[in-house]
């Protein structure tokens, strides 16, 4: 039986390495999950004279998508976001990250606007408070304004159906005052 020990050690090691291969090192787990969304007040993309504050995120389950017109992966997920907005089951907010206002508005006009409201974060300060390090990123926020999930990278059909929507349905069933 003793000769089996190296084999067992090898198999264990292989299992760990195999698990490691399935993980994306670019997905760094966010310490903000489970914490209240960092507060901000930004001017709206469509009307810079009007403000949008983070307290407006409270009261219902919402998605906050970090996007920019210079971000190619954002284009990838755009169709999915448009389809989601079409269903109207959850409000989608857009944090226009380090973008030029005109470029951002042009992008929405050209490709369609899935957002209830977009707001500009030209210097990325709010993005930094939200721990944004790669656009696009999408946060799921519950009724109390607590971040419950962070999607790093584009929202694909699979991510939406497999992860985001089930979570959103679950959060929508929760009590707002829990």
Partner 1 sequence: MTRLFLLLLIVCFSAPLLAVEVRQFAGPEEEQRYENLVRDLRCLVCQNQSLADSDADLARDLRDEVYKMIHEGKSEQEASQFLVDRYGDFVLYRPPFKLQTALLWIGPLLLLLGALAVAGHQARLRARYAGEGLSADERARLNALKNRLGE
Q: Could you list the residues that contact partner 1 (CB under 8 A)?
A: 25-26, 28-32, 98, 123-124, 128-131, 133-134
Give the nearer residue to partner 1 in terms of CB position, either 29 or 88. Answer: 29
What is the rounded distance in angstroms from the CA atom of residue 168 to the CA atom of residue 60?
10
Q: How far is the CB of 146 from partner 1 (least distance, A)?
A: 16
Element (H, E) at 127: helix 125-129
DSSP 8-state code for residue 36: B
What is the rounded distance in angstroms from the CA atom of residue 139 to the CA atom of residue 8?
41
Give the nearer residue to partner 1 in terms of CB position, either 56 or 129. Answer: 129
DSSP 8-state code for residue 164: I
Q: How far is the CB of 43 from partner 1 (least distance, A)?
A: 20
Provide the 3-class DSSP secondary structure of residue 21: helix
What is the rounded distance in angstroms from the CA atom of residue 135 to the CA atom of residue 72?
9
Give the nearer residue to partner 1 in terms of CB position, either 91 or 153. Answer: 153
Give the nearer residue to partner 1 in terms of CB position, either 91 or 131. Answer: 131
Q: How far is the CB of 12 from partner 1 (least distance, A)?
A: 13
Q: How far is the CB of 60 from partner 1 (least distance, A)?
A: 25
């Amino acid at each position: 039986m003793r000769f089996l020990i190296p084999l067992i050690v090898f198999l264990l090691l292989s299992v760990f390495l195999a698990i490691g291969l399935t993980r994306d090192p670019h997905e760094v787990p966010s310490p903000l999950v489970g914490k209240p969304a960092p507060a901000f007040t930004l001017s709206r993309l469509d009307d810079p004279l009007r403000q949008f504050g983070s307290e407006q995120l409270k009261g219902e389950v919402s998605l906050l998508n970090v996007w920019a017109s210079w971000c190619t992966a954002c284009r990838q997920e755009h169709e999915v976001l448009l389809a989601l907005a079409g269903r109207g089951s959850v409000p989608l907010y857009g944090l226009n990250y380090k973008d030029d206002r005109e470029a951002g508005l042009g992008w929405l006009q050209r490709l369609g606007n899935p957002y209830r409201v977009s707001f500009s974060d030209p210097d990325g300060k709010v993005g930094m408070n939200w721990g944004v390090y790669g656009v696009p990123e999408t946060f799921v926020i519950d009724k109390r304004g607590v971040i419950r999930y962070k999607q790093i990278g584009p929202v694909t059909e699979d991510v939406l159906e497999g992860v985001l929507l089930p979570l959103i349905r679950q959060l929508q069933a929760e009590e707002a005052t829990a």
